[in-house]
Structure formats: C-alpha cells, structure tokens
Amino acid sequence: MDALWSLTASEITTRLRAGELTARAVTEAALGRIDLANGPLNAVVERCDGAALAAADAVDAARASGQALGPLAGVPVTVKVNVDQTGHATTNGLRLQRDLIAAQDSPVVANLRKAGAVIVGRTNTPAFSLRWFTRNSLHGATKNPRNPALTPGGSSGGGAAAVAAGMGALAHGTDIAGSIRYPAYACGLHGLRPSLGRVPAFNFTGPDRQIGAQLMAVSGPIARSVADLRLGLEAMAAPDLRDPWYMPAPLRGPDAPRRAALCLAPDGMQVAPEIKQALRAAAARLEAAGWEVVEQDTPPLHEAMMEQLTLWLAETRRGGDAVIGQEDDPDANIVYQRLSALRPPVDVNGLLDTLQARSRLTRDWRAFLSDWPVLLCPVSGALPFADHADVGPQEDFDAIVAAQMLQIAFPFMGLPGLTVTTGTVHGPYGETPVGVQLVANQFREDLLLDAGEAIGDTVPIAP
C-alpha cells in the first residue's frame, strides 16, 4: 500500500469518505514527511503541526457524526507566506514583515479551511515575491527536489517544491507574472492560474493594492494531478465578497467546441526545440482525446508583456523604491534595478495609456479565444533555468525575461492559464522537467482542466 504522504488529494478524499483512512493518519504522515524531506529543500519555512492535527481531528469527528465533508476534507495543504493566515506572519520573504502577524485569514485561506483542508505549513517565496527563483534574506533559499541545480521557480517556489517532495498533496500559490505556472513547470507539476475574480483574496495585514496588482494577481493551486487542481479550485473559489473583484461565476461553463489552437512560438519568441517537441506531443494527446488542434498565430503578447511591466513598475516606483531599499535584499535589489531599466517612468497620461491598451488587448484575446476555446503554447521559451541565473550576468537576465514573455503577458488581460508537466528531458544541468501551457477565456478554467486531463498524467513524487 502507498505511504499516506504519497497519496494525491483525490485519493485522500475518496479513501477518507470510504472509511479506509483517517485525516489524522494522513496529517501525521505529511508532518513526518516534512521532518524527513524539508531540511535540504527549505520549502516549508513555518510549520503548523498543532493546528493541523486539530483540524484533522475535526474532519474525522465530522465524518463520524455523518456531517457533509468539504471537497478537500483531510487533505494536507501548504500556504504561501505572502497571504494572511491567522496567528502567522505574512512575511512575503521580508525581514521587514517578520512580525506582521495576521489577525484573520485571507479569504483564500478561509476557503481552504471551510473545504476541510488541513494546513500543515507555510512555504517560501523570494523577497517581495519578485522573482522566478526562491531565496530571501529572512527564510533562505529553496531547492528544487527534482534537480537542485535548477530553480524551483518563483515566486511560489516553496509550495511547488513541497508538493513535488510529498510535503502536502496541494499547495496554495499566487501568480501575477507566472508565480504559479512557472514553479509548477520547474518542479515537474501541474499549476493553475485562475481568472481575475475567480478566487477571492485580500490581505488584512496591509492596505489595498494598487490597480495593476488588483487586475493581475490571483491565488490558485499547484498539484501532482490535474484532478487535484480541479478540487483545489473548487475549494479556493468559494464566495467571499470581502474581495471586491470576486465574481460568483459557475465552475462549469456552457458547452464549447473541442478546438485548440497550437502556437509553437507565439509572437515570434524563441522556443527551445525540446519544448516544441513537448507541444507537438501534447497536441497529439489532445487529438487522440477528440480535440481538433490547428496551428494558429496569436494576438500580440510582447506588447502585453511590456505594458504589464510599465504598469507594475509605475506602482512600485510610487513608494516601493524606499521599501526595497530598506529591506536591502541582495537578490531583490539586483532584479528590481534590472527590471526598472526595461521600462521608463510614466506620468499619469502614460498610466492611462497603459490601461487603455489593456482594454484593446483583452478584447483581441477574448475574440481569439472565442474562436479557439483553448490555446496550447509554451510555458516558457526555455527549459527551467539554472538556479539564481537572474542575478548573474546581465545577458542571462535579459534572456530570462525574453523567455518568460508568456508568464508576464497573460495576466495583463486577466486570463487563466494552466501549466501541465509532460515529463523530463536531458538538459544542460541534467534531468530537467518540461511542460506546456494552456490558456482560455476568463472563467473557463473548466476547459483548461478538461484539456489538461487529456495531456497530463499524475506525477510521481521526487525521489
């Protein structure tokens, strides 16, 4: 019989409902796995043992008394340190926030609890959740359990590493420019960036974010199976009107043609041959499952990436410079300086122009995705990067940004995206995960998950 810590969320909920296991036993197994695996990985930077066992006992008591169980009943999950969890510091990887203790849960954390999930720990992120790599001056660096020479991704690198190593069946992540999709890619997992308005989220430890972050930042799940992402989305998307962007859209939309557009090199970007091969193999799996797949060009993406950077940097420059300087995290200092050089400061007219461009680009993309309900495209133009390559030579940083165009661009339009891992290849740093990305119209995560289940298999835990 499989070790309890190795079960997927779907397996846990099925067996718990059948009375084949208890939530306490599963939780104890997950905590034991953290004892064993976390040391060299540093994925879980704060443990929740006591509260986790109490939550597991509550699930077992509810089942024993015949109460209805939530979609994630008894499932060990982790929560990223950049969202509020009662009694814990919302550090966001910052020494400045090591004592910023949350007095109440963020809506997404509250929804996980209501769904019966058992929070076993909080996971690492880079300072300010700024990078596609995971290291900060407060919690240290997280390693990729599939290959320590590679980045675990960022900014939800701790959550992805935890799932890949079996320290929880499901991880919470956030994504403003790839922070769910890229860690899933780098750690050989599946990760869902939901639509703007799908998953309610707000941190009560701080003020409302400015408009760019409001429009682009979302919370979502990372898991070893696409079926688990479906469970995670159902739990996370429960109504909570404390988030003014939340929309009570149905999780299953109207029937749509099973048609997918395949784009091997969107907007002319450079794409590694191993990734193109993975895309063609994914297209063949879709066709075998009854989908029509046709190669297509896409609406603009480079423009969307540059407008996203313009908007994000305009907001960060408005007060963020001082905070970044005060934190003085070496990685964040380098990355912010290099990002700032990509886009000049804008005045209020430039900001209004950026928001106007967002309307046009979103309209173009929604029209495209109305004709082609799913887009099959790269996650990144490159295989997962060597760890901390972004703080190396300037030319490496420039190549990383170019490769990450699709990570940055799609959030500008508020679109959902799904990373599906498709296996491994032999890369310059050894065995390397590879995968593909699926994109759909707003609130059509159901189409992404349907297509993702045709492409992606349940992923084994890293040895």
Catalytic sites, residue numbers:
80, 155, 179
Helix (H/G/I), strand (E/B), else coil: 438: strand
Contact 307, 216 (CB under 8 A): no
What is the helix (H) or strand (E) element at residue 174, kind and residue range? strand 170-175
Side chain identity, residue 73:
A
Tell me the C-alpha distance between 243 and 250, whole Å: 17
Angle between helices 445-455 and 273-288 (to 10 degrees): 100
Give the burial class of 66: count Cβ atoms within 10 A of its Cβ; 0-12 exposed, 13-18 middle, 19 or more buried: exposed
Phi, psi of 75 (to 5 degrees): -85, 125
Alpha carbon of residue 373 to chain centroid: 22
Helix (H/G/I), strand (E/B), else coil: 279: helix
Tell me the C-alpha distance between 335 and 27, whole Å: 38
Give the pair of three-digit tokens for residue 214. 């409001």
Specify the DSSP class assigned to residue 155: S
Side chain identity, residue 18:
A
